[in-house]
Structure formats: C-alpha cells, structure tokens
Amino acid sequence: MPELPLPWIAAMAALAQVADSPAIDGAMIARVVSRMLHVLSAIILGGGLFYMRSILSPAGAEACYAGRRSAWARWVAIASFLLLASGLFNFLAIFDQYRDAGHKLPPTYHMLFGVKVLLALAAMFIAAILAGRTAAANRFRAHLAQWLNIGWTAIIAIVVLGALLRAHHVLGPQGADGGAAAAPVESPHG
C-alpha cells in the first residue's frame, strides 16, 4: 500500500480493507436500483416544484409552463409512479430484513412512514393538478404561489421524515428495554 500523507487517511483505508462488504447479489442490485429511481424521481418532482415556486411563479402561471405544460405533466406522472413503486419496494425490503433478523419494525417507524406517504401523495397531487388541463386545474393555478408553497413545504417535511426513517432503520431496532438490539440491522440500501 502506498504511503498516505495523513495518519487518519491510512487508518480509514485500513478499516475499509477489513470491513465486511455486503454481498453483491440480485437482491442488493434491486435495492440499489430501486433507491436510485426513488431519489431521482424525488429530485424531478421536488426540484420541479422548487424551480416553479422560486424562479417561475413570480411571473405567473403561464411562465411556469411556457407552452410546456404537457411535458411537465408527463414527468409528474412518471416521477409519481416511480416514487410509489420504489417506495413500496424499499419499505418491503426493510420490512423483510427486520423479519428475517427476527425483529419487528417499531410502531414509530410505521407512523413516520405513513405520514411521509400522505405528504408525498399531497405533493404528487399538487404537482399533477397544477399541470392539469381541467377547470379544477385552472382554479388551482389561480392560486399558484399558495399551492407551490404547500407543495414545497410537503417536500421539505418528506426530506426530514426520510432522514429520520433512514437513521431509524440503519441504527437497527430497539430492544424491549429501549436499548439497542444485540445485533444492529444493516440498511438494505448500503
């Protein structure tokens, strides 16, 4: 091994060499692809709402779409579908991993996950209705800034809940006495 300039870099390199790596199998590849699709879809939907609110909406609803409403509607549909499908897959992977380790997901996890799903459905609805062609969509677009603020607030809350959920299942389930379980459960996402 070449000489590393800082002792802590050398220590980290040594730890990386002896650390157990997860097996790269079909299940791991599926989990990684699902997570990538989930994150990319969230970036498309959340980023689109953020861009519309921060940059375009001050100029009005027409500036938000500039004749490209149908293209945005298509991306909202694709991103929403992928978020729902990959989110369900990710949840089931975590659930299975806990079950296989002989543990149950704590009720707090289910509660936070449920709130996150409801907020995600609200954000998807807002993105979809604002891109819609109906009279209802026109009524929503009449209050564009308000709906974009609500959508973006939901996105921020989803990110916070996602971080809490991620930390929750990476740390592993809690034992009956409130302490950490004997063997922490590794995240299915690496």
Domain ranges of the chain: 25-171
Provide the token pair at 58.
């001050």
Alpha-carbon distances, residue 37 vs 81, 108, 127 (angstroms) = 10, 26, 18
Q: Of 121, 97, 117, 82, which Cα lies nearest the Cα of 169?
A: 97
* Distance between CA atoms of residues 41 and 185, nearest Å: 27
Angle at 119 between CA 50 and CA 129, to 5 degrees: 60
What are the residues facing 174 on neighbouring strands? 180
Q: Are 131 and 72 in contact (CB under 8 A)?
A: yes
Q: Of 95, 80, 61, 62, which Cα lies nearest the Cα of 127? A: 80
For residue 185, the surrounding DSSP H or E stretch is none
pLDDT digits (tens, 9 = 90+) for 135-165: 998 899 889 889 999 999 999 999 999 999 9
CA distances from 88 to 42, 92, 114, 162 (A): 14, 6, 11, 14
- pLDDT tens by residue, 73-83: 999 999 999 99
In the prediction, which pLDDT does 103 show? 85
Percent of the chain with pLDDT over 70: 74
pLDDT at 173 over 70: no
| pLDDT of 162 | 92
Residues 39-75: pLDDT tens digits?
999 999 999 899 888 887 777 767 776 677 888 899 9
Residue 183 has pLDDT above 50, yes or no: no
How does residue 22 score in pLDDT terms, banded at 50, 70 and 90?
low
Higher pLDDT, 71 or 173: 71
- The band of 36, judged by pLDDT with boundaries at 50, 70 and 90, is very high
| Backbone angle region of 132, left / alpha / beta, with phi > 0 → left and psi within -120 to 50 → alpha | beta
pLDDT tier at 179, thresholds 50, 70, 90: very low
Can you give the C-alpha Rg of the chain in angstroms? 21
